[in-house]
Amino acid sequence: MWCKLQLCLLRTAIILAALLGIAAPANASISLLIEEPFGRFGSFNPTGHAAIYLSSVCAETPIRLRLCRAGEMGVVVSRYHRVHGLDWVAIPLIPYLYAVEDLSDVPESASAAVKARLRDRYRRDHLLDIAPDTRDGETPKGEWIQLVGSAYDRRIFGFQLDTTREQDERIIAKLNDSRNRSHFNLLYRNCADFSRSLLRTAYPGSIPRNALADFGLTTPKHLARAITRFGEEKPEVAFQTFQIAQVPGTIPRSRNVNGIAESLVRSKKYLVPLVFMSPTTAASLLAAYVGTGRFRMPAGAPEMPELSPMPPMIALNTAAIQVPPEVASSTRKFACSEMESPMPQDSILSGGGSD
């Protein structure tokens, strides 16, 4: 029996160690989200969209940030054009991706009608101050639809760096203290410029401009290339990548993200006329793209961890702790209560006893 008690205590220690490891909070992080272009505008401007996901920063309101409380999943913040006159808006992660508040409500496949219905329902529940009904009580038109349900329209790539509480608080202060009034400009005050400014708030000097391949403009793909290089050079920031799949369904699939020079060089409708009109310019574009503009998006990256299925829950005293299936199974199989008979106390104290 003494051996059985020792075995039970050992297994209990292993299980408790696993529980403590699982219960430990995940590191805070800042993630650059690069979203593929879609629709008519995406065919004209294939640079896509950029946003920032902050895992430990949450939205008190869509225009006011705070540190997250236990159980909250953070926000996505980005710059928008013609959204209630605002420069930036913060939306919780799951609504931003799927226009629902819980992962269990995400449809397995979606049509344009399903997407529109979910977006409008979330708008009516949470965003009426930003996107109010029309005078006759109908759903308004406009670019507010970019705020929620992004994963119905496009695939998204993530580039993640760890952050400290101090870095998160700097970002919160920067945005809360800013004058949140739209000054969007497609060339020099776009979504990528906004994302770059937040990355540089967390990591000053981390994302330089690309003066050649993107003609000094900030594009989403340039940010992806720059943050990848920064992360690879700084192992302490725990750089990693992930992706978020476009929701299956009848909605057209999004297109690949391109930079400016890349768009010109890889598109025959632009390159062929340019070669005839100005071979020198075409050669310069090609050199700029080859020299500083080439970058392959991480198509093999894993799924975003926050979207992975959660392990089962067990109750330990008054705390709910997530336990992997194999640990939960071990707990059931080797519970101390399953010992054939209790060990006499004098044997425990003396260290004696046998099978």
Cα within 13 Å of Cα(120), Cβ side: 14
Q: Cβ of 127: how many Cβ atoms within 10 Å?
A: 21
Q: What is the pTM of this model?
A: 0.75
SS3 175: helix
Separation between Cα atoms, residue 42 and residue 161, nearest integer Å: 28
- Where b means 16+ CB within 10 Å and e means fewer, 93-104 reads bbbbbbbbeebe
Q: Residue 240's CB: how many other CB atoms inside 10 A?
A: 17
pLDDT at 219: 87
Do 54 and 140 share a domain, yes or no? yes
Say whether both 143 and 278 belong to one domain: yes
Contact 101, 126 (CB under 8 A): no
Asked if 231 and 124 sit in the same domain, the reply is yes
72 is a domain residue: yes
Do 212 and 187 share a structural domain? yes
Kindly state whether residue 347 falls inside one of the protein's structural domains.
no
Q: Report yes or no: 244 and 303 within 8 Å, Cβ to Cβ.
A: yes
- What integer pLDDT is reported at residue 185 of this predicted model? 80
Q: Which residue type does 240 have?
A: Q
Instruction: Tell me which long-range contacts 264-273 makes (C-beta under 8 A, separation of at least 24).
Output: 265/289
User: Quick one: 95 and 226 in the same domain?
Assistant: yes
Q: Pick out the chain residues at pLDDT < 50.
A: 2-3, 5, 7, 10, 13-14, 16-25, 213, 268, 271-272, 285, 289, 291-293, 310-323, 327-328, 330-355
Handedness of CA 181, 186, 188, 191 (dihedral sign): positive
- DSSP string across 23-54: HSPPPPEEEEEEE---HHHHHH-TT-EEEEEE
Residues in the chain, total: 355
Residue 66 structure tokens: 């705070």
What's the pLDDT score for residue 188? 74
- Is the alpha carbon torsion for 83, 84, 89, 93 positive or negative? negative
Q: What is the pLDDT of residue 208?
A: 83
Residues 281 and 152 reside in one and the same domain: yes
User: Are residues 159 and 60 part of one domain?
Assistant: yes
Tell me which residue range forms the domain holding 13: 2-22+312-338
Tell me, yes or no, whether 192 and 328 share the same domain. Answer: no
Q: Provide the pLDDT for residue 80.
A: 93
Does residue 343 belong to any structural domain of this protein?
Answer: no
What's the structural domain count of the chain? 2
